[in-house]
């Protein structure tokens, strides 16, 4: 099950981008988005999110 960004809470800081080992996080409309097909469910993005807006979908 892939991780997902809560777009209402995302502050678009980009902290998750550099932590993703498969580079499946992109910026879309002022927030981050995770490509569910590419996500390997490692959780690295969720661990570094300063506002805890990333969780398993």
Q: Delimit the domains of the chain by residue range.
A: 3-56
pTM as predicted? 0.91
Q: Which residues contact 22 (CB under 8 A, 6 or more apart)?
A: 38, 39, 40
Domain 3-56: which CATH number of 3.30.70.20, 3.10.129.10, 3.40.50.720, 3.40.50.2000: 3.30.70.20
Give me the pLDDT at residue 1, please: 81
For 49, other C-beta atoms within 10 Å of its C-beta total 22
Cα–Cα dist 19/47, whole Å? 9
Over residues 6-48, the pLDDT tens digits come to 999 999 999 999 999 999 999 999 999 999 999 999 999 999 9
For 16, other C-beta atoms within 10 Å of its C-beta total 22
């Amino acid at each position: 099950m892939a991780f997902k960004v809560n777009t209402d809470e995302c502050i678009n800081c980009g902290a998750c981008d550099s932590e993703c080992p498969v580079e499946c996080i992109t910026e879309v409309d002022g927030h981050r988005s995770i490509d569910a097909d590419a996500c390997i469910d490692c959780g690295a993005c969720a661990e570094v999110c300063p506002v805890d807006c990333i969780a398993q979908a």
